[in-house]
Amino acid sequence: MNLRTRLSRSSGYRELGMFEESISELDEIDSEEQADTLVLEARYKTYRDAKAWESAKAMAELLYERNPKSFSWCKNLVDSMTECGDPTGALQLLHDSSKRFGEDATSSL
């Protein structure tokens, strides 16, 4: 089965609240495609919706490292850090990002 089909099936399971099935679908993706940004984003969304915050945080960290200019991934990381019990670290990251992201970051404070 191709990547697009697996991602679509995973998304459908996630939307139905079938989080284990969603992750299982992602686990079936070929190993060389596991690090694909779309796969990591799908994992993040499933973990986030399942409230598996440690796993969501790991995906958000990786995606933010890959996309340091993405305020969206910065916010996702901040949210995950907060949910994992690190509001001080999350606030510091948001303050640090205000220099890079300007108004977007300061309006989120």
52 three-class SS: coil
Are residues 9 and 35 both part of a single domain?
yes
Neighbours of 109 (CB within 10 A): 8
Q: What is the pLDDT of residue 96?
A: 83
Q: Is residue 44 part of a domain?
A: yes
* Token digits of residue 14: 């996630």
Mean pLDDT of the chain: 91
The C-alpha atoms of residue 104 and residue 77 are separated, in whole angstroms, by 15
The Cα-based distances of 75 to 14, 26, 29, 31, 107 in angstroms read: 21, 24, 27, 28, 12
Read off the pLDDT band of 95 (50, 70, 90): confident
Q: Is residue 55 part of a domain?
A: no
Are residues 72 and 45 both part of a single domain?
no
Q: Is residue 108 part of a domain?
A: yes
What pLDDT digit, counting tens, does each position of 38-70 carry?
A: 999 999 999 999 999 999 999 999 999 999 889
Q: Is residue 28 part of a domain?
A: yes
Residue-number span of the structural domain to which 25 is assigned: 1-50
